[in-house]
Amino acid sequence: MGVSDVALELVDSRNPIATRSRKLERAAEKLGVPILVVINKADLIPRRVAEAWREWFEEQGLRAVYIAAQRRMGTRVLRRVIKDVAGRGQITVSVFGVPKVGKSTLINILKGRHSARTSPYPGSPGYTTHAQVYKIGGGIYLIDSPGILPPESGGVEAIIRSAPVDSIKNIIQVALELMKTILQHNPYAFLEAYGIESRDPDEILRELARMRGWLYKRDKEPIIEEAAKAIIRDYLAGKISYFFMPPRPEGSPG
């Protein structure tokens, strides 16, 4: 991080609190590197909610923008704010975040087809062998290797972002808990994602397994473990939407 002029901290718009890294923010402050919070997957939440999260981060002294990297939405604003945060001249940007927030997706769209790979210029020690530097226009240089941060939140978000789905223990319990949280905030989440009308997590798992034909040969019972894995994968891939509003600052009315 020391070599960059701006550190992008990607968070997931569906749960910015669970996907932010206070450790990164503190380390950046110590090094004097400005953080720009990038609220990604904003296509999954209403614009007014994305705007509320942006303001919530800015009230905490962090610049913030929202984007939908996969849809190439918001990247023009992102470039403008990067320059605003870094000031004039050549700017080196690096990308940080917990797993599955969209770091690789963002790096790829910023690199684009036309960006030129450049040799690291003087003043970028440590990146000479491990990462490439891409010139992405407007005097911005992007370090193409993301900083992967361990989740700090605990709970289900940390579990599903800490290991591949196939190696998570108690996968059914984990999926049920994730589904409960999602349903609490969006009762239609699984109707929208799969066309399943039930709002009961157990029933949704069974229904999804039946729909996909994941049945035990012997008794044709649904293999709910497969459905649990599919839901966690689809959630991480940004195919299931829910949102909640940022908490109000302490002491504010209502």
Ligand X SMILES: Nc1nc2c(ncn2[C@@H]2O[C@H](COP(=O)(O)OP(=O)(O)O)[C@@H](O)[C@H]2O)c(=O)[nH]1
Do the beta carbons of residue 39 and residue 66 sit within 8 Å?
Answer: yes
Place of tokens 């320059």: 83
103 or 161: whose CB is closer to Mg ion? 103
131: its two tokens: 């990462």
Residues 28-87 that bind ligand X (CB under 6 A): 40-41, 43-44, 68-71
Bridge partners of 38, per DSSP, are 10, 65
32: its two tokens: 């004097």
> Distance (Å, rounded) from C-alpha 133 to C-alpha 116?
9
238, 240, 242, 243: residue in contact with ligand X (rule CB under 6 A): 238
97 touching ligand X, by CB under 6 A: yes
Q: How far is the CB of 40 from ligand X (least distance, A)?
A: 5
Residue 24's nearest CA partner among 12, 13, 11, 14 is 11
Q: How far is the CB of 38 from ligand X (least distance, A)?
A: 10
103 touching ligand X, by CB under 6 A: yes
Q: Name which of Mg ion, ligand X, none residue 13 binds, using a CB cut-off of 5 to 8 Å depending on partner kind.
A: none
Number of amino acids touching Mg ion (CB under 5 A): 2
Q: How far is the CB of 11 from ligand X (least distance, A)?
A: 10
Judged by CB under 5 A, the stretch of 37-45, 68-76, 95-103, 188-196 that binds Mg ion is 95-103
Bridge partners of 10, per DSSP, are 38
Q: Which string of b and e fits 175-212 if b means at least 16 CB within 10 Å?
A: bbbbbebbbeebeebbeebbebeeeebeebbbbbbbee
240: its two tokens: 């299931």
104 touching Mg ion, by CB under 5 A: yes
Tell me which H or E stretch contains 190. Answer: helix 189-194
105 or 181: whose CB is closer to Mg ion? 105
Q: How far is the CB of 167 from Mg ion (least distance, A)?
A: 18
Helix 201-212, helix 171-185: angle, nearest 10:
110
Q: Name which of Mg ion, ligand X, none residue 161 binds, using a CB cut-off of 5 to 8 Å depending on partner kind.
A: none
Q: How far is the CB of 253 from ligand X (least distance, A)?
A: 34
Residues 131-170 that bind ligand X (CB under 6 A): 146
70 touching Mg ion, by CB under 5 A: no
